[in-house]
């Protein structure tokens, strides 16, 4: 697998530290669900968001915890 950049987003904080951390992977097109799950497990945050292009919207987002895909994660958006 090629190098994947995971951005740390600290939600619900004004100074960038503390808050509720989430991982965000941009340009996740081409990653399988298994690869997304492995990345989320390695990152270890409560949720990691994967942003991909979509044919019927501006973009698509999928969310993974270290153990499973979840329907939504507000603090990772």
What residue ranges do the domains of the chain occupy? 7-76
Using the predicted structure, report yes or no on whether residue 69 has a pLDDT greater than 70: yes
Region of 28 on the Ramachandran plot (φ > 0 left; ψ -120 to 50 alpha; else beta): alpha
Using the predicted structure, report yes or no on whether residue 43 has a pLDDT greater than 90: yes
Record the tokens describing residue 44, joined without a space.
């270890």
Provide the whole-model pTM.
0.85
What percentage of the chain carries pLDDT values higher than 70?
90
* CATH level 2 (architecture), domain 7-76: Roll (3.10)
Catalytic residue among 14, 34, 47, 69: 47
pLDDT of the residue at 23: 93
Q: Is 47 a catalytic residue?
A: yes
State the pLDDT confidence band at 63, using cuts at 50, 70 and 90.
very high
pLDDT of the residue at 71: 84
pLDDT of the residue at 20: 83
């Amino acid at each position: 697998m090629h190098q994947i950049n995971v951005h740390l987003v600290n939600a619900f904080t004004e100074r960038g530290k503390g808050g509720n951390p989430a991982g965000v992977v941009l340009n996740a097109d081409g990653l399988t669900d298994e690869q997304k799950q492995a990345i989320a497990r390695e990152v270890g945050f409560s949720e990691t968001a994967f942003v991909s292009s979509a044919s019927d919207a501006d973009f698509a987002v999928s969310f993974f915890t270290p153990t499973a895909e979840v329907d939504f994660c507000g603090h990772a958006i």
